[in-house]
Structure 1
Amino acid sequence: MWGDLESELEAASKRRISKHERYARWISDENKRRQRRSAAPVNALKVGTPDYWSLDPRHDPYHVRARRKSIAHSMSKSMREGTYKPDRPAGYKIEKVGGGERLVSAFTIPDEVISRRVFASLMSKNAAKLSARAYAYRRDLSPHDAIDYISTEFMQSKRLFVAEFDFSKFFDTVTHDHINKTLRDLKIRMTDLERKIIDEFLRCPPAYTNAEEKLEAVGARKVGFAQGTSLSLFLANIAVAPLDRALEKMGVSFVRYADDTLIWSKDYSQLCSAVDRLHAESKFIGSDINEAKSEGIRLLVPEGQSNAEMERTSSVVFLGHKISQGSVRMKATAIEKIQTRVNHLLYTNLLMEPIGGSQELGRIGDLDSDYITYLWQLRRYLYGNLSENDLSKYMKHSVATIKFKGAMSYFPLVTHQGDLESLDSWIATRTWLALRKRASMLKPLVTSCPDMWDLGRDSLVAYEYYSTSAGEAIDLRLPSVRRISKVIEKAVQTHGISIMGPKGKVYNYIS
């Protein structure tokens, strides 16, 4: 199991280096785009590195790649002698959707290599011991599978009782006694070395965020475990496995993603018993129910139904989707995230330089080059690496076996056409208004104006430009969430939901 660590260190380093170099290329390209748009010198963006790279050289993938042979030798030696311990992780803070910040742990690359190996080994030997309704951190299941299961179940009944629950500070409060007991009760298959590595990761102190904190003397953890490494994903599923088994035995339907749990049943008393069991299990786990994010039991009824004998709802929100008995929709915050990105692209490409009085007028001729750049960037954001020609081809013929990318690949199961139409309409209106504002500022400065400046909204949406030099029409239509959604729907029908890309990424996007 512990052979060839050198190759794995190299692969892990290369993944991080590739990501950093893609970011550096984007910075370089963005600086060039900004300078092309501006007649004045621009403040160039700088290529940076994560702050925690400087806190320990083993976070730096360039360092690890260069010294992988000696690092692998040291790792193998500690494994043979039973002295391996992960180093205290560095940490960085990210904003939480509901406000506040979350501290994410970043283990060194060698420690993450060990963690990934143990995670893969434990999952390959014990996947059958985990509930089929636990969808987090699984290689065989994805968040999309959870949404698919919920929507299918909801369509089967006109009235259901539903309950949504979230644990409070789950990773920080789970007791080690509970995890160890569950490992024994489930008879988790593992070697003595894997057992020892689990113990060492459990005891690993909380993350530090700067050089001063790194020097502070910190004792081993007594409760909780670091969030941000592969092994912690396995431990999170283990911690809640007894609850999953209890719910299965009670006969209620449920899905769980990490510490988010959705339960439903046609039988109110059955659901009440399940909720009581959930609260009881939370005490064993050591993590209280987050009452602010847990709405309790409600009656799920069709949209538009007003009469009900208790608190009702027409939908539930789970993993960035709003699911009802008749449709799957995008969560409001997911739509807002797309709108924020569109507004950013409009401002940087069309409005920033005219407002600042620094527009490079050579960019404007028969076509507005900055508008075309906006279209390309918007298309890449929504479609990934697909073109309008690709979409047309896939709608007419079979869809190739490709991994879809772009923002809409996170929502392959959305069925509510009204939401997609509204989002398309919003994008069209915002684009048209931004282009009108750009035209009003620049028309006095140019001798001739591009045709697109004077188009109405609907004409702009479907705009094509005939290039005399190329002898063909150039497709300058606005990208459409409806068009890409139709292609994605066809791809899912043909190849299944797994075509939507790496498992777990959707949660990163919508959470």
Structure 2
Amino acid sequence: MRTYYSLYSRLLSKQALYDAFRQVKRNRGAAGIDGQNLSAFEANLKAELSCLLTELKEKRYQAQPVRRVTIPKADGGERLLGIPTVRDRVVQQAVRAILEPIFDGDFHPSSYGYRPGRSAHHAIAKAQLFICRYHRQWVVDMDLSKCFDTLDHDLIIRHFRRKVTDGSVLGLLRQFLSSGVMVGHQYETTTQGSPQGGVISPLIANVYLDAFDQHMKHRGHRIVRYADDILILCGSKPAANNALKVAAAYLEGELKLTINHRKAHLAHSREGVAFLGVVIHTRFTRIQEPKLRGLKAKLKEMTRRNTGENLSGVIRRLNP
């Protein structure tokens, strides 16, 4: 396995930071704790990037705490987001641009979340392939409880260190992880997790969970994973029960994560397997009813007659 010793120098150029800002701008997003939004940052872009570049060169850069935002979930729970400042998002994106190509090529082929050129549609298609063509119709359906919020910091660094030994880059990762969070006006330390909302958090989660993917592969299990949504596809019910035990032991024992046992279950494809907004059956796939109702409501709103928008404009919004 190739090891990368000297990566920090790749950050130390105006072009690297400018490219990172352009990606951050494409992703949009709200202001962090300093109240500075993307427009304000861009209005003084040259000075902002020059300041960041100097701080990085002199090893004076310090990530700021993220801003806590709470989003209600469909099941009545809450999703906790952590919004970094724009300047921190730029540095995170620059680091991600260096690290992602190093790790992504070796990720498990059935990992689809937050990866270049991959999507939920690809994950669904792979699950359909296993079920319909290869007759792996007993399925373990599971997800992880508060996955991003409970990633172990030492394990994160250990997984990155398998390929990256540049202490300065690993130091930046440590900063992103331990910068803390502002909940209103109250500062809270972060001893675990990588905030949802952080630019580099999806890569961190994929590097972390790839250890699980590879463990299951070596044990002969077929999986499809999209972020923390996991399917294990098996040829029989006993095999599925065994796969669930193997997965739980590794996720909760080795990776210190928590399976959502209320949702984890075995299903046969003749009854339907819910995954990423669809239900996969042995011979067909359909959209889940809540998703379908939401889609119909959105289409109805977008095609109202009293919007005053001409037909070509409506079509462009429906098919951007």
TM range, normalised to the smaller chain?
A: 0.7 to 0.9
SS class of match (2:242):
helix
Aligned with 1:272 (options 230, 241, 254): 241
SS class of match (1:163):
strand
List per-residue Cα deviations over 1:306-361 (Å, max 9, x = no partner): xxxxxxxx211111121112122222222111222244457xx56xxxxxxxxxxx
CA shift in 2, pair 1:170/1:79, >3 Å:
same
Q: Which residue of structure 1 aligns with residue 74 of structure 2?
A: 97
Superposed counterparts of 1:426-505, under 5 Å: none
Gaps of 5+ in 1: 21-49, 302-313, 351-369, 385-404, 406-511
Which residue identity does 1:134 align to in structure 2?
S
Contact preservation (8 Å) 2:24, 2:93? no
* Mapped pair 1:56 → 2:25: no
TM-score (norm 2): 0.85
Q: Which residue of structure 2 aligns with residue 189 of structure 1?
A: 164
Superposed counterparts of 1:384-403, under 5 Å: 384=319
Contact preservation (8 Å) 1:9, 1:72? no
CA shift in 2, pair 1:319/1:13, >3 Å:
closer
Structure 1 residue 286 displacement after superposition: 2.2
Bigger strand share: 2
Contact preservation (8 Å) 2:130, 2:233? no
CA shift in 2, pair 1:124/1:90, >3 Å:
same
* Mapped pair 1:137 → 2:114: yes
Q: Which residue of structure 2 aligns with residue 171 of structure 1?
A: 148
Contact preservation (8 Å) 1:345, 1:377? no
SS class of match (2:274):
strand
CA shift in 2, pair 1:198/1:63, >3 Å:
same
Bigger helix share: 1
Number of aligned residue pairs: give it.
308
RMSD: 2.7
Aligned with 1:340 (options 286, 297, 303): 297
Superposed counterparts of 1:264-343, under 5 Å: 264-283=233-252, 284-294=254-264, 296-301=265-270, 314-343=271-300
How far, CA to CA, are the matches of 1:225 and 1:108 in structure 2?
15
Q: Which residue of structure 1 aligns with residue 175 of structure 2?
A: 200
How far, CA to CA, are the matches of 1:188 and 1:207 in structure 2?
33
Contact preservation (8 Å) 2:156, 2:208? yes
Contact preservation (8 Å) 1:115, 1:230? yes
Structure 1 residue 371 displacement after superposition: 8.2
CA shift in 2, pair 1:74/1:181, >3 Å:
same
Q: Calculate percent identity across the aligned residue pairs.
A: 23
Which residue identity does 1:156 align to in structure 2?
R
CA shift in 2, pair 1:6/1:128, >3 Å:
closer
* Mapped pair 1:256 → 2:225: yes
How far, CA to CA, are the matches of 2:105 and 2:302 in structure 1?
46
How far, CA to CA, are the matches of 1:161 and 1:14 in structure 2?
43
Q: Which residue of structure 2 aligns with residue 109 of structure 1?
A: 86
Which residue identity does 1:111 align to in structure 2?
D
Structure 1 residue 246 displacement after superposition: 1.2
Structure 1 residue 289 displacement after superposition: 0.8
List per-residue Cα deviations over 1:154-203 (Å, max 9, x = no partner): 1125562111111111111121232233334xx22353222111111111
How far, CA to CA, are the matches of 1:149 and 1:255 in structure 2?
7
Gaps of 5+ in 2: 1-9
